Chain A
Amino acid sequence: MNDFLGVLLLLITAVGLTVIILLLTVYLGPKRTNPVKELQFETGNRPSPGSARERFPVHFYLVAILFVVFDIEIAFLYPWAVNFRKLGLFGLVEMGVFILILTTGWYYILKRGVLKWR
């Protein structure tokens, strides 16, 4: 737990620096606001109609869930890699089975062509 003291202090320092910099810019910068300046910036034109809160293609969702799946897999791989020498061939076989099952899923995605980003 004491190891994390350094992490905590670094985070506090980073937040502190950001606070100082942003306070400086807020107080030093001029304040000449007008309604046009406060519009969204779209290459200098009047903002195009419609909200920015548009619906996004479902492909982003696909990427996110694939990320979750493979991220969890990586989360499993790290403790395995550290203990690999202790586990030996047994470890290789069990992780081989794990990766094989997920590779099947990956191959299925590939063959169904869902990863084709259009």
Chain B
Amino acid sequence: MELILFLIIGLTVIGAGMMVILTKNPVTSALYLTLAFFGLAALYVLLGAPFIAALQVMVYAGAIMVLFLFIVMLLNLRDKQTWELTTGMRRALGLVVAAGILLVALAAMKGLVSPPAPLDTDMGSPAAVGLALYRRFLLPFEVASVLLLIAIIGVVAMLKQKSPEQAPEGGGTDGRT
């Protein structure tokens, strides 16, 4: 039962991931990415970590996806607009990057040939995750706040290219938005 569910969800994630790069329409592509995120969340549920699954849905399928969709709106992408990605040089570069990622993934999986010891069933509960995060991984947690601070400052820097007094009222939408 679990194996069947895993196969269905896993194939969905892989298929959605493929469609992300195969579709030309940026919004459709972003929505396939959402599907992939949901599939990953379902896999976390199967692994007995519902808390991480909710985190995945909340941060990726929720927040990051809205950000992506807003960027698509910001970029003025017309319906049929595509990029010229067909030159030989770029293809070669893509192949090199893909091979690199594959190598890293294989290296990471090398240690997992034998099935790992079963984890504590309570491993994915909010209490367990919270205690681990706020006792053992305290420093990474605090560093994360600095990362978020940098993100905030980055946005302000980007918006402050023009001062608010001179900035045009949006990109040609008459400020109706």
Q: Which residues of A are at the interface with B, using a C-beta cutoff of 8 A?
A: 1, 3-4, 51, 53-69, 71-73, 75-76, 78-80, 82-83, 86-87, 91, 94, 97-98, 101-102, 104-106, 108-109, 112-114, 116, 118
Contact = CB atoms under 8 A, between A and B. Distances in A.
B173 A79 contact: no
Interface of B: 45-46, 48, 50-51, 55, 58-59, 62-64, 66-67, 70-71, 73-79, 126-127, 129-131, 133-135, 138, 141-142, 144-146, 148-149, 151-153, 155-156, 158-160, 164, 169-173, 175, 177
Contacts of B129: 79
B156 A101 contact: no
Contact of B45 (A4, A53, A101): A4
Contacts, number: 161
A1 B46 contact: yes
B123 to A, nearest CB: 13
B155 A62 contact: yes
Given A62-B159, A68-B64, A69-B151, 10 more contacts: A1-B46, A55-B73, A56-B171, A64-B70, A66-B152, A68-B63, A80-B130, A114-B156, A114-B164, A118-B169
Nearest to B78: A53
Contacts of B70: 56, 60-61, 63-64
10 contacts: A1-B48, A58-B171, A61-B155, A63-B70, A65-B152, A72-B148, A79-B129, A80-B130, A106-B152, A116-B164
A36 to B, nearest CB: 22
A68 B66 CA distance: 9
A19 B164 CA distance: 48
Contacts of A56: 70, 73-74, 170-171, 173, 177
B4 to A, nearest CB: 14
B78 to A, nearest CB: 6
A1 B173 contact: no
B134 A94 contact: yes
B46 to A, nearest CB: 6
B169 A66 contact: no
A57 B170 contact: yes
